[in-house]
C-alpha cells in the first residue's frame, strides 16, 4: 500500500492538473448523468450535462445570494472591486482564482467575518450586510477545519445545535445522523488530534451541515488532503449537496476540483470576476486569454483578424497563415486576436491530412511528453511558436510512431477553436 | 561513529552544573546541621525545621507572602490575559504600538525604579501602605510576564477556531469562555504560576511598598541575614526549593505524558485511516 501511494505521488507531477481536469470532469458528469434520468443532453450545448438545473438561464429566477456592487478595501489594497454576482438556490457554485484574487474575502463577507466597504449582500432577498456572523443562516467549513481541539467529535458536531438551544434528544439524534452521513460512527468520542486528516475533514463537514444551513460555504475544503482522498471526497461532496438540497459556495484555487463539483464557476482575478459559466462552457468557450490559460491547457496563436462573416472568422497568423474558426464574433478587420485551441483538439499526423484544406500547419516535433494514457507532442512551427497536440495512446504498438525531429502535420476543425480578443 | 561524549564535554558539563547548583546543594546540606554555626558541620539533625515552625516571625512572613502571591498572581493573570488578547486579536488599532510598549515596559524596568515610583505614588495619594500596596505593586510588574506567556500561545492558535464557533451561532463573549479560554488555559495557568513565583521571590519592590504588618518572607530573610545567617534560614530556603522543585517536576511529567499520549493517539488514527485509502 505504501509503495502504491508513493508511485502515485511520483507520477503526479508529470501529469499536470490542467490536463487531467477535463477528463475528470467529463467522468464526473457522466456518472451523475447515469444516476439521474432527467438529464438528457440539450442540443447545441457543450459538454455533458450534469442535471437539468439552470436557473441562471431563466430570467424570472431570482438569485438566492446576491452580491450587489460589492467593494472591499483593506487599507489601500482593493480585495474586491465593485463586484456583482448572483447565486441560485441549490446551486453548487465555485469561486476559482489564484491566491489574493479576492475569492476568500467574498466568502468571508457572506459568512459575516468581513464587512463590505461598499455595496450590500442579499440572502433570500434580505440585506444581511449588518447581521453578525452568529445570526446568519449560513455555515462555513474552514480551510484549516478549525475543529475545537478540546471537544470530542460528537461535541464538535453538536456545538452549533447547542447554540440553537435544541432539545438534548434531538441533538443526539442529529449528531448520530451526521456521523453516519460522513461515516465516522466509530470515532464519536475521539478528540480531533486523534484523527487523521481525512477524518478531520469529514468532522468539519459534518459540523458545518449539522445545523442545516441555507448556504454552506467551503473555503478550500480539500486543500489539505492527498490527491486520492481529494478525488474521492469531491464526488462525496457533490452527492451530499444533491442529497441535502443545499446551496454550496466553494472557494478553490484548484481548477480540477472546481470543474468536478460545480454547477457554475466564477473565475476571478484581482478582485474582479472574469467569467461566470458552467464548467464545460468555461472550458470550451473561455472569454479571455486569462480564463483560457487558467482552466486547463491551451494553445494560443497570435494573429490579426482577416475577415469576419456570419458564423466564421478568419485570422491571419505569422505561424500558420490563415486559420478559420466557426464563431459569431464582433470584431474589426486588422484587430489583434488570438486563436485558442485545446491540445486534445489538435490532430497530429506524419502525412498531410487529405480531408482538410484549412487549419493545417506543419512543424518539427520538438518534445514529447509520455503520460501513459496520453502523449503530448510539442511541435515547433516555422515562425517559432510551439503548438501542443494531445493524442490518446489507444493501442500499444504503433507501426511508425511519431518521434523527435519528425516533420509532423497538425490540423484542427474550425469548430474546435475559439477566437479571443482579450 | 559516535563514541559517546568526549572528556571535554563531560568536564564542561560537570563544571556548568556545579556552578549552578553547588551553592544550593550546600545550603540544603547545612540546613540539616546540628550546630548553631552555619559553616561548621556538627552532625545531622532536623531540629532547625522544628525551630522554624516555632518561629512566629518567619511563619507570619510566609503566610503574608503566600497571600500576596496568590492574590497578585490571580489579578495579574486576568489583566495580563486581557492585554494579550487585545494585542493579538484586535489587529491594528490606533495606539497599538504604544499600548504594547507600555504593557511590556515593566519587563525591562529596573525594580528599584518600579518600587520607588510606586512608593511615591502611594505617598502622594495618601494610600496606607501594607498588604494591598504590595499586592498592587506585584500586579504591576508580574502582569507583563503573564501577557507575554499568553500572547505567545494566542499567536500560535488558529483564529478560525473562534470564527467557527461564531459561525455556528455562538456570540463572541460566550465564544471566549467556551472555546478560547479552554484552549489557552495551559498558558494562562503557567502565566499564573510565573506571576506567583515572581511575587514569592520579590524583595526590592516589596521593601519599597510595604508597611507595618506586611513583611514578606524575602524581606524577613534578608533582615535576619544582616544579623547573621541562622540554620533556620537554611531550613526555610530548603523548603522553598523543595516546593519549587516539586512544582516544576510535576509540570514537566504531566506535559511529557500528554505528549506521549497524543503521539500514540495520532499513530492510532493514522492506522485506523489506512484501510480506507486502499
Look up residue A360 and give its three cell numbers. 493545417
Q: Which of B161, B170, B171 comes nearest A146 by C-beta?
A: B161
Alpha carbon of B183: minimum distance to chain A alpha carbons (Å)? 7
Q: Which residues have a Cβ under 8 Å from the Cβ of A357 and sit 6 or more positions away?
A: none
Quick: pLDDT tens for A332-348: 888 999 999 999 999 99
Q: How far apart are CA A35 and CA A29, in angstroms?
A: 10
pLDDT in tens, A364-417: 999 999 888 899 999 998 888 899 999 898 888 777 788 888 889 999 988 889
Subunit contact B262:A228, Cβ cutoff 8 A = no
Indicate whether A381 belongs to any domain.
yes
Task: Name the domain count of chain A.
Answer: 2
**Residues of chain B contacting residue A147, judged by C-beta atoms under 8 Å apart:** 161, 164
User: What pLDDT is recorded for position B50?
Assistant: 87
A211 interfacial to chain B (CB closer than 8 Å): yes
A359 with A270, same domain? no
> Are the beta carbons of B183 and A150 separated by less than 8 Å?
yes
Q: Phi and psi (nearest 5°) for A78?
A: -95, 110
Q: Cell digits for B30?
A: 547545612
Q: Are residues A124 and A67 in the same domain?
A: yes
Q: Do B161 and A163 touch (CB under 8 A)?
A: no
CA distance A273 to A267: 6
List beta partners, residue B187.
none
**pLDDT tens across B158-183, in order?**
888 999 999 999 999 999 999 999 98
Stronger pLDDT, B42 or B176, i.e. the higher one: B176
How far does B232 lie from chain A, in Å, by closest CA? 47
Whether residue A149 lies inside any domain: the answer is: no
Assess whether pLDDT exceeds 90 at residue B116. yes
Looking at the fold, whether A120 and A24 belong to one and the same domain comes out as: yes
Q: Cβ of B166 and A134 within 8 Å?
A: yes
A274 with A374, same domain?
Answer: no
B6 and chain A in contact, CB less than 8 A: no
Q: How far does A28 lie from chain B, in Å, by closest CA?
A: 20
Instruction: Specify the range with the lowest mean pLDDT, choosing from A18-32, A278-292, B219-233, B255-269.
Output: A18-32
Q: How many helices (H) and strands (E) does chain A have?
A: 10, 20
Assess if residue A382 is contained within a domain: yes
C-alpha cell at B7: 572528556
How far, rounded to the nearest angstrom, does the alpha carbon of residue A313 sit from its chain's CA centroid? 29
Domain limits at A307? 297-420
Work out the percent of chain A whose per-residue pLDDT is above 90: 41
Residue to substitute from B164, B172, B274, B276, interface A, most A β-carbons within 10 A: B164
B269 touches A at CB < 8 Å: yes
Q: Does the beta carbon of A388 lie under 8 angstroms from any beta carbon of chain B?
A: no
- Report yes or no: B179 at the A interface, CB cutoff 8 Å: yes
Q: Give the separation between CA B61 and CA B224, rounded to whole angstroms.
A: 12
Inform me whether the pLDDT recorded for B152 exceeds 80: yes
Chain A neighbors of B261, CB-CB under 8 A:
none
Residue A28: pLDDT over 70? no
Q: Which of A284, A317, A340 is the last residue of a domain?
A: A284
Q: Which of residues 235-264 of B touch A (CB under 8 A)?
A: 262
How far, in Å, CA of A317 to CA of A314, rounded?
10
- The CATH code of the domain that includes A398 is 2.40.50.140
Of all residues in chain A, the one with the smallest CA distance to B277 is A229
What single DSSP character describes residue A356?
Answer: -
Gyration radius from chain B CA atoms? 24
Residue of B170, B269, B272 lying closest to A134 (CB–CB): B170
Higher pLDDT, A249 or B258: A249
pLDDT given at position A11: 38
Identify whether residues A29 and A116 lie together within a single domain: yes
Instruction: Assess whether A403 and A334 both reside in one domain.
Output: yes
C-alpha–C-alpha distance, residues B235 and B218, integer Å: 14
As given in the structure block, the three cell numbers for residue B173 are 463573549
A255 and A331 housed in the same domain: no
CATH of the domain at A279: 3.40.50.300
Which positions in chain A touch B188 (Cβ < 8 Å)? none
CA B160 to chain A, closest CA, distance in angstroms equals 6
- Three-state SS for B126? coil
Query: What domains lie within chain B, and their CATH numbers?
Result: 57-250 (1.10.3720.10)
pLDDT in tens, A87-116: 999 999 999 998 889 899 999 999 999 999
Query: Is the Cβ pair B277, A229 closer than 8 Å?
Result: yes
Please report, for residues A340, A366, B6, B129, B253, the alpha-carbon distance to residue B1 in angstroms, rounded to integers and kept in the order given: 62, 51, 13, 66, 33
Residues A391 and A337 in one domain: yes
| Complex prediction ipTM | 0.75
> Based on the domain organization, do A82 and A27 belong to the same domain?
yes
**Among chain A residues, CA nearest to B171:** A134
pLDDT tops 50 at residue A21? no
Tell whether A61 and A107 lie within a shared domain: yes
First to last CA, chain A: 48
**How far apart are the CA of B36 and the nearest CA of chain A, in angstroms?**
55
Angle made by CA atoms A399, A401, A404, in degrees to the nearest 5: 155
Asked if residue A373 and residue A235 are part of one domain, the reply reads no
Which residue bears the cell 510576564?
B145
Residue pLDDT, tens place only, A169-215: 999 999 999 998 888 889 999 989 888 888 899 999 999 999 989 89
**Structural domain ending residue among the three candidates A284, A307, A322:** A284
Q: Which residue of A has its CA nearest to B275?
A: A1
pLDDT score of B157 more than 90? no
Task: Give, to the nearest 10 degrees, the angle between helix B217-225 and helix B56-89.
Answer: 130
Read off the pTM. Answer: 0.76
Q: Is residue B274 scored above 60 in pLDDT?
A: no
Assess contact for A163 and B168: CB atoms under 8 A.
Answer: yes
**CB contact A76 to B (< 8 Å):** no
How many residues are given for chain A?
A: 422
For residue B266, pLDDT beyond 80: no
Q: What is the pLDDT of residue B109?
A: 87
Query: Among A284, A306, A336, which residue terminates a domain?
Result: A284
As a whole number, mean pLDDT of residues A239-259 equals 88
Helices (H), B156-230: 160-167, 172-175, 181-201, 204-209, 217-225
What is the distance between the terminal CA atoms of chain B, rounded to a whole angstrom? 41
A265 with A301, same domain: the answer is no
Farthest-apart Cα atoms in chain B, separation: 78
Residue A164 lies in a domain: no
Amino acid at each position: 500500500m505504501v509503495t502504491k501511494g508513493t508511485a502515485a505521488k511520483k507520477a503526479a507531477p508529470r501529469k499536470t492538473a490542467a490536463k487531467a481536469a477535463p477528463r475528470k470532469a467529463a467522468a464526473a458528469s457522466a456518472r451523475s448523468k447515469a444516476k439521474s434520468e432527467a438529464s438528457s443532453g440539450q442540443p447545441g450545448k457543450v459538454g455533458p450535462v450534469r442535471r437539468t438545473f439552470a436557473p441562471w438561464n431563466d430570467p424570472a429566477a431570482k438569485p438566492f445570494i446576491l452580491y450587489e456592487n460589492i467593494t472591499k478595501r483593506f487599507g489601500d489594497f482593493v480585495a474586491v472591486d465593485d463586484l456583482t454576482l448572483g447565486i441560485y438556490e441549490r446551486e453548487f457554485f465555485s469561486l476559482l482564482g489564484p491566491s489574493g484574487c479576492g475569492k476568500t474575502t467574498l466568502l468571508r463577507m457572506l459568512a459575516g467575518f468581513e464587512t463590505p466597504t461598499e455595496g450590500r449582500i442579499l440572502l433570500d432577498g434580505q440585506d444581511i450586510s449588518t447581521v453578525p456572523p452568529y445570526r446568519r443562516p449560513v455555515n462555513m467549513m474552514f480551510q484549516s477545519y478549525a475543529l475545537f481541539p478540546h471537544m470530542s467529535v460528537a461535541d464538535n458536531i453538536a456545538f452549533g445545535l447547542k447554540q440553537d438551544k435544541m432539545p438534548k434528544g434531538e441533538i443526539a439524534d442529529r449528531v448520530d445522523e451526521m456521523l453516519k452521513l460522513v461515516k465516522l460512527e466509530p470515532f464519536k468520542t475521539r478528540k480531533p488530534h486523534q484523527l487523521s486528516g481525512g477524518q478531520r475533514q469529514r468532522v468539519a463537514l459534518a459540523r458545518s451541515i449539522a445545523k442545516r444551513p441555507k448556504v454552506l460555504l467551503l473555503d478550500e475544503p480539500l486543500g489539505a488532503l492527498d490527491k486520492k482522498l481529494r478525488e474521492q471526497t469531491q464526488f462525496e461532496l457533490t452527492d451530499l449537496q444533491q442529497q441535502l438540497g443545499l446551496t454550496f459556495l466553494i472557494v478553490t484555487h484548484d481548477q480540477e476540483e472546481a470543474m468536478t463539483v460545480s454547477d457554475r464557476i466564477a473565475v476571478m482575478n484581482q478582485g474582479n470576476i472574469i467569467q461566470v459559466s458552467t464548467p464545460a462552457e468555461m472550458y470550451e468557450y473561455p472569454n479571455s486569454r486569462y480564463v483560457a490559460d487558467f482552466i486547463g491547457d491551451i494553445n494560443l496563436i497570435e494573429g490579426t483578424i482577416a475577415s469576419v462573416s456570419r458564423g466564421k472568422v478568419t485570422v491571419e497568423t505569422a505561424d500558420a497563415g490563415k486559420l478559420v474558426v466557426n464563431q459569431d464574433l464582433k470584431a474589426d478587420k486588422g484587430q489583434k486576436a488570438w486563436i485558442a485551441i485545446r491540445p486534445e483538439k489538435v490532430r497530429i499526423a506524419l502525412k498531410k491530412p487529405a480531408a482538410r484544406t484549412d487549419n493545417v500547419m506543419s512543424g518539427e516535433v520538438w518534445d514529447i511528453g509520455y503520460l501513459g494514457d496520453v502523449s503530448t507532442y510539442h511541435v515547433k512551427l516555422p515562425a517559432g511558436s510551439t503548438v501542443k497536440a494531445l493524442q490518446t495512446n489507444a493501442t500499444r504498438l504503433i507501426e511508425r510512431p511519431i518521434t523527435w525531429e519528425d516533420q509532423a502535420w497538425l490540423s484542427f476543425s474550425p469548430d474546435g477553436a475559439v477566437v479571443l480578443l482579450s | 561513529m559516535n563514541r559517546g561524549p568526549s572528556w571535554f564535554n563531560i568536564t564542561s558539563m560537570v563544571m556548568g552544573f556545579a556552578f549552578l547548583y553547588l551553592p544550593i546543594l550546600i545550603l540544603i546540606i547545612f540546613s540539616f546541621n546540628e550546630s548553631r554555626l552555619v559553616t561548621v558541620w556538627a552532625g545531622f539533625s532536623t531540629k532547625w525545621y522544628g525551630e522554624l515552625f516555632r518561629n512566629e516571625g518567619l511563619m507570619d512572613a510566609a503566610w503574608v507572602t503566600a497571600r500576596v502571591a496568590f492574590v497578585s498572581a490571580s489579578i495579574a493573570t486576568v489583566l495580563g490575559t486581557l492585554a494579550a488578547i487585545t494585542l493579538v486579536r484586535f489587529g491594528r488599532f490606533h495606539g497599538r504600538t504604544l499600548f504594547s510598549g507600555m504593557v511590556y515596559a515593566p519587563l525591562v524596568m529596573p525594580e528599584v525604579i518600579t518600587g520607588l515610583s510606586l512608593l511615591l505614588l502611594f505617598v502622594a495619594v495618601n494610600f496606607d501602605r501594607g498588604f494591598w500596596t504590595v499586592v498592587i505593586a506585584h500586579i504591576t510588574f508580574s502582569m507583563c510576564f503573564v501577557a507575554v506567556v499568553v500572547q505567545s500561545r494566542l499567536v500560535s492558535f488558529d483564529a478560525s477556531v473562534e470564527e467557527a464557533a461564531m459561525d455556528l451561532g455562538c456570540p463572541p463573549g460566550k465564544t471566549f469562555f467556551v472555546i478560547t479560554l479552554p484552549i489557552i488555559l495551559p498558558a494562562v495557568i503557567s502565566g499564573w504560576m510565573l506571576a506567583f513565583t515572581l511575587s514569592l521571590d520579590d524583595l526590592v519592590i516589596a521593601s519599597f511598598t510595604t508597611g507595618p504588618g506586611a513583611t514578606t518572607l524575602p524581606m524577613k530573610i534578608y533582615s535576619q541575614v544582616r544579623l547573621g545567617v541562622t540554620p533556620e534560614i537554611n531550613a526555610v530556603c530548603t523548603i522553598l526549593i523543595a516546593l519549587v522543585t516539586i512544582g516544576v517536576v510535576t509540570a514537566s511529567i504531566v506535559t511529557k505524558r500528554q505528549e506521549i499520549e497524543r503521539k500514540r493517539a495520532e499513530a492510532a488514527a493514522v492506522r485506523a485511516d489506512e484501510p480506507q485509502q486502499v
